Amino acid sequence: MKTIHEVKTTRNGINIPVVGFGTWQIPNEAAYEAVSLALKNGYRHIDTAAAYGNEEAVGRAIKDSGIPRKDLFITSKLQAQIKGYDEALVEFEKTITKLGVDYLDLYLIHAPWPWDQIGKDCTQGNIDSWKAFEKLYKEGKIKTIGVSNFAPKDIQALIDTCEIVPFVNQISYWIGHTQKETVSFCDTHKILIEAYSPLATGKLFKNEKIVAIANKLEVSVARLAIKYCVQKGTIPLPKSTHEARMIENADLEFKIPALVMAELDQLDR
Protein backbone atom coordinates (compact mmCIF):
# COMPACT_ATOMS: atom_id res chain seq x y z
CA MET A 1 0.00 0.00 0.00
CA LYS A 2 1.27 3.48 -0.86
CA THR A 3 2.17 5.55 2.20
CA ILE A 4 -0.46 8.16 1.31
CA HIS A 5 -3.17 5.48 1.67
CA GLU A 6 -1.90 4.03 4.95
CA VAL A 7 -3.91 4.96 8.03
CA LYS A 8 -3.52 5.68 11.71
CA THR A 9 -6.43 4.66 13.92
CA THR A 10 -7.91 6.83 16.67
CA ARG A 11 -8.87 5.39 20.08
CA ASN A 12 -12.47 5.14 18.88
CA GLY A 13 -11.52 3.12 15.81
CA ILE A 14 -11.60 5.81 13.10
CA ASN A 15 -8.97 5.47 10.35
CA ILE A 16 -7.16 8.66 9.31
CA PRO A 17 -5.02 8.58 6.12
CA VAL A 18 -1.46 9.26 7.30
CA VAL A 19 -0.87 12.07 4.80
CA GLY A 20 -3.47 14.82 4.50
CA PHE A 21 -3.80 17.69 2.05
CA GLY A 22 -3.74 21.04 3.84
CA THR A 23 -5.55 24.12 2.52
CA TRP A 24 -4.29 26.85 4.87
CA GLN A 25 -3.51 30.10 2.99
CA ILE A 26 -5.20 28.82 -0.18
CA PRO A 27 -7.89 31.41 -1.01
CA ASN A 28 -11.41 30.28 -1.88
CA GLU A 29 -10.99 30.86 -5.62
CA ALA A 30 -7.78 28.77 -5.77
CA ALA A 31 -8.94 26.06 -3.32
CA TYR A 32 -11.35 24.45 -5.79
CA GLU A 33 -8.59 23.64 -8.27
CA ALA A 34 -6.05 22.71 -5.59
CA VAL A 35 -8.36 20.22 -3.86
CA SER A 36 -9.55 18.84 -7.22
CA LEU A 37 -5.93 18.16 -8.21
CA ALA A 38 -5.11 16.66 -4.82
CA LEU A 39 -8.06 14.24 -5.05
CA LYS A 40 -7.14 13.37 -8.64
CA ASN A 41 -3.63 12.47 -7.46
CA GLY A 42 -4.66 10.12 -4.66
CA TYR A 43 -5.13 12.31 -1.59
CA ARG A 44 -8.19 11.22 0.42
CA HIS A 45 -7.67 13.29 3.58
CA ILE A 46 -8.57 16.97 3.15
CA ASP A 47 -8.00 19.53 5.90
CA THR A 48 -9.76 22.90 5.94
CA ALA A 49 -11.09 25.38 8.53
CA ALA A 50 -13.74 28.07 8.81
CA ALA A 51 -10.93 30.59 9.33
CA TYR A 52 -9.38 29.72 5.95
CA GLY A 53 -12.43 31.09 4.15
CA ASN A 54 -12.36 28.27 1.59
CA GLU A 55 -14.82 25.66 2.92
CA GLU A 56 -17.26 26.34 0.08
CA ALA A 57 -14.68 25.75 -2.66
CA VAL A 58 -13.28 22.70 -0.85
CA GLY A 59 -16.80 21.28 -0.64
CA ARG A 60 -17.47 21.86 -4.35
CA ALA A 61 -14.21 20.16 -5.31
CA ILE A 62 -15.11 17.16 -3.14
CA LYS A 63 -18.60 16.93 -4.66
CA ASP A 64 -17.37 17.32 -8.24
CA SER A 65 -14.65 14.68 -7.76
CA GLY A 66 -17.30 11.97 -7.73
CA ILE A 67 -15.36 10.12 -5.02
CA PRO A 68 -17.79 8.42 -2.59
CA ARG A 69 -18.08 10.35 0.68
CA LYS A 70 -17.19 7.23 2.70
CA ASP A 71 -13.79 7.09 0.95
CA LEU A 72 -12.84 10.60 2.09
CA PHE A 73 -11.64 12.00 5.40
CA ILE A 74 -12.71 15.64 5.82
CA THR A 75 -11.56 17.91 8.64
CA SER A 76 -12.66 21.42 9.55
CA LYS A 77 -12.20 23.66 12.57
CA LEU A 78 -14.14 25.96 14.87
CA GLN A 79 -12.67 29.45 14.59
CA ALA A 80 -10.23 30.25 17.41
CA GLN A 81 -12.05 33.37 18.59
CA ILE A 82 -15.44 31.62 18.87
CA LYS A 83 -15.93 30.02 22.25
CA GLY A 84 -19.10 28.62 23.82
CA TYR A 85 -21.61 25.78 23.67
CA ASP A 86 -24.34 27.34 21.53
CA GLU A 87 -21.80 29.23 19.45
CA ALA A 88 -19.96 26.00 18.57
CA LEU A 89 -23.21 24.28 17.53
CA VAL A 90 -24.13 27.21 15.26
CA GLU A 91 -20.65 27.33 13.68
CA PHE A 92 -20.66 23.58 13.03
CA GLU A 93 -23.91 23.89 11.06
CA LYS A 94 -22.40 26.74 9.01
CA THR A 95 -19.35 24.60 8.25
CA ILE A 96 -21.19 21.50 7.05
CA THR A 97 -23.56 23.69 4.99
CA LYS A 98 -20.62 25.38 3.25
CA LEU A 99 -18.88 22.05 2.69
CA GLY A 100 -22.12 20.47 1.46
CA VAL A 101 -21.73 17.39 3.67
CA ASP A 102 -23.94 15.93 6.39
CA TYR A 103 -21.12 14.92 8.72
CA LEU A 104 -17.43 15.64 9.35
CA ASP A 105 -14.75 13.02 9.92
CA LEU A 106 -12.88 15.34 12.28
CA TYR A 107 -13.79 18.69 13.87
CA LEU A 108 -11.19 20.65 15.85
CA ILE A 109 -11.13 23.66 18.16
CA HIS A 110 -8.69 25.71 16.07
CA ALA A 111 -6.74 27.15 19.01
CA PRO A 112 -7.13 27.56 22.77
CA TRP A 113 -7.21 31.36 22.40
CA PRO A 114 -8.02 33.92 19.67
CA TRP A 115 -5.08 34.44 17.30
CA ASP A 116 -4.92 38.15 18.19
CA GLN A 117 -4.78 37.29 21.93
CA ILE A 118 -2.36 34.35 22.06
CA GLY A 119 -1.99 33.07 25.62
CA LYS A 120 -5.32 34.49 26.85
CA ASP A 121 -7.03 32.18 29.34
CA CYS A 122 -10.14 30.86 27.56
CA THR A 123 -10.42 27.67 29.64
CA GLN A 124 -14.15 27.95 30.32
CA GLY A 125 -14.89 28.84 26.69
CA ASN A 126 -12.92 25.81 25.50
CA ILE A 127 -14.77 23.55 27.95
CA ASP A 128 -18.14 24.88 26.77
CA SER A 129 -17.14 24.44 23.11
CA TRP A 130 -15.89 20.93 23.83
CA LYS A 131 -19.20 19.95 25.44
CA ALA A 132 -20.89 20.98 22.18
CA PHE A 133 -18.36 18.84 20.28
CA GLU A 134 -19.23 15.89 22.53
CA LYS A 135 -22.94 16.37 21.74
CA LEU A 136 -22.29 16.44 17.97
CA TYR A 137 -20.03 13.40 18.28
CA LYS A 138 -22.67 11.42 20.19
CA GLU A 139 -25.24 12.37 17.53
CA GLY A 140 -22.97 10.95 14.82
CA LYS A 141 -22.46 14.31 13.10
CA ILE A 142 -18.70 14.09 13.68
CA LYS A 143 -16.79 10.79 13.54
CA THR A 144 -13.96 12.02 15.74
CA ILE A 145 -13.25 15.24 17.65
CA GLY A 146 -10.08 17.03 18.59
CA VAL A 147 -8.16 20.22 19.20
CA SER A 148 -5.44 22.22 17.48
CA ASN A 149 -2.52 24.20 18.92
CA PHE A 150 -3.42 22.96 22.43
CA ALA A 151 -0.63 22.67 24.99
CA PRO A 152 -0.83 19.96 27.70
CA LYS A 153 -2.46 22.34 30.22
CA ASP A 154 -5.19 23.23 27.71
CA ILE A 155 -5.97 19.56 27.05
CA GLN A 156 -5.80 18.71 30.76
CA ALA A 157 -8.56 21.27 31.42
CA LEU A 158 -10.84 19.31 29.05
CA ILE A 159 -9.85 15.94 30.54
CA ASP A 160 -10.64 17.24 34.05
CA THR A 161 -14.12 18.53 33.22
CA CYS A 162 -15.47 16.70 30.15
CA GLU A 163 -16.41 13.14 29.21
CA ILE A 164 -14.28 12.55 26.13
CA VAL A 165 -10.51 12.98 25.87
CA PRO A 166 -9.64 14.59 22.51
CA PHE A 167 -8.72 12.02 19.86
CA VAL A 168 -6.43 14.35 17.87
CA ASN A 169 -4.22 17.40 18.45
CA GLN A 170 -3.13 19.22 15.30
CA ILE A 171 0.06 21.21 15.96
CA SER A 172 2.89 22.92 14.10
CA TYR A 173 5.52 20.22 13.66
CA TRP A 174 8.57 19.83 11.44
CA ILE A 175 12.22 18.77 11.49
CA GLY A 176 13.79 20.87 14.25
CA HIS A 177 10.42 21.69 15.86
CA THR A 178 8.84 18.54 17.23
CA GLN A 179 7.11 19.90 20.37
CA LYS A 180 8.37 17.02 22.52
CA GLU A 181 6.47 17.95 25.69
CA THR A 182 3.12 18.21 23.90
CA VAL A 183 3.74 15.04 21.88
CA SER A 184 4.72 13.10 25.02
CA PHE A 185 1.56 14.25 26.82
CA CYS A 186 -0.60 13.30 23.82
CA ASP A 187 1.09 9.90 23.52
CA THR A 188 0.26 9.22 27.19
CA HIS A 189 -3.41 9.96 26.53
CA LYS A 190 -3.47 8.18 23.13
CA ILE A 191 -4.14 11.44 21.28
CA LEU A 192 -2.93 11.32 17.67
CA ILE A 193 -0.70 14.16 16.46
CA GLU A 194 -1.36 15.87 13.14
CA ALA A 195 1.59 17.91 11.85
CA TYR A 196 0.71 21.13 10.09
CA SER A 197 3.36 23.12 8.22
CA PRO A 198 5.63 20.03 7.90
CA LEU A 199 7.90 22.10 5.61
CA ALA A 200 8.07 24.95 8.18
CA THR A 201 6.32 27.22 5.64
CA GLY A 202 9.35 26.82 3.35
CA LYS A 203 12.08 27.48 5.92
CA LEU A 204 13.46 23.93 5.68
CA PHE A 205 14.53 24.55 2.07
CA LYS A 206 17.08 27.06 3.40
CA ASN A 207 18.51 24.76 6.06
CA GLU A 208 21.91 23.59 4.78
CA LYS A 209 22.02 20.47 6.97
CA ILE A 210 18.59 19.32 5.82
CA VAL A 211 19.42 20.05 2.18
CA ALA A 212 22.64 18.02 2.53
CA ILE A 213 20.80 15.05 4.09
CA ALA A 214 18.13 15.16 1.37
CA ASN A 215 20.84 15.17 -1.32
CA LYS A 216 22.58 12.23 0.35
CA LEU A 217 19.33 10.22 0.33
CA GLU A 218 18.58 11.41 -3.23
CA VAL A 219 15.17 12.80 -2.27
CA SER A 220 13.81 16.34 -2.25
CA VAL A 221 13.73 18.37 0.96
CA ALA A 222 9.91 18.25 0.82
CA ARG A 223 9.80 14.45 0.59
CA LEU A 224 12.37 14.12 3.39
CA ALA A 225 10.41 16.48 5.65
CA ILE A 226 7.05 14.81 5.08
CA LYS A 227 8.46 11.29 5.45
CA TYR A 228 10.18 12.36 8.67
CA CYS A 229 6.80 13.34 10.12
CA VAL A 230 5.29 10.00 9.04
CA GLN A 231 8.15 8.01 10.57
CA LYS A 232 7.80 10.00 13.81
CA GLY A 233 4.22 8.71 14.01
CA THR A 234 2.48 11.97 13.14
CA ILE A 235 0.04 12.76 10.32
CA PRO A 236 1.56 15.51 8.13
CA LEU A 237 -0.63 17.96 6.21
CA PRO A 238 1.47 19.30 3.32
CA LYS A 239 -0.15 21.86 1.03
CA SER A 240 0.53 23.12 -2.46
CA THR A 241 -1.35 24.67 -5.35
CA HIS A 242 1.03 23.09 -7.90
CA GLU A 243 0.16 19.62 -9.17
CA ALA A 244 3.79 18.56 -9.64
CA ARG A 245 4.52 19.35 -6.00
CA MET A 246 1.39 17.54 -4.80
CA ILE A 247 2.59 14.43 -6.64
CA GLU A 248 6.11 14.83 -5.23
CA ASN A 249 4.77 15.33 -1.67
CA ALA A 250 2.83 12.08 -1.95
CA ASP A 251 5.81 10.10 -3.25
CA LEU A 252 6.96 8.63 0.05
CA GLU A 253 7.91 5.08 -0.90
CA PHE A 254 11.32 5.21 0.77
CA LYS A 255 12.58 4.88 4.34
CA ILE A 256 14.80 7.29 6.22
CA PRO A 257 17.49 5.13 7.92
CA ALA A 258 17.51 5.14 11.73
CA LEU A 259 20.89 6.90 11.89
CA VAL A 260 19.62 9.68 9.63
CA MET A 261 16.43 10.00 11.71
CA ALA A 262 18.66 10.42 14.79
CA GLU A 263 20.68 13.08 12.94
CA LEU A 264 17.46 14.96 12.06
CA ASP A 265 16.24 14.65 15.65
CA GLN A 266 19.41 16.45 16.76
CA LEU A 267 18.26 19.55 14.86
CA ASP A 268 15.48 20.16 17.41
CA ARG A 269 16.01 23.57 18.90
The angle, 0 to 180 degrees and rounded to 10, between the axes of the packed helices 208-217 and 258-265 is 170
CB 101 within 8 A of CB 74: yes
Q: How far is 258 from 239, CA to CA, in rounded Å?
A: 27
Residue type, 74: I
The catalytic position among 32, 52, 137, 228 is: 52
Report CA torsion sign: 5, 46, 66, 61. negative
Residues 6+ apart with CB under 8 A from 262: none
From CA 104, how far away is CA 126, in angstroms rounded? 20
Burial class from Cβ neighbours inside 10 Å (0-12, 13-18, 19+) for residue 28 reads: middle
Q: Is 122 helix (H, G, I), strand (E, B) or coil?
A: coil
**Could you tell me the CA-to-CA distances from 53 to 46, 77, 172, 261 in Å, in that order?**
15, 11, 20, 37
Q: Is 52 a catalytic residue?
A: yes
Q: How far is 54 from 130, CA to CA, in rounded Å?
A: 24
Give the separation between CA 219 and CA 260, rounded to whole angstroms.
Answer: 13
Q: Which residues are catalytic?
A: 52
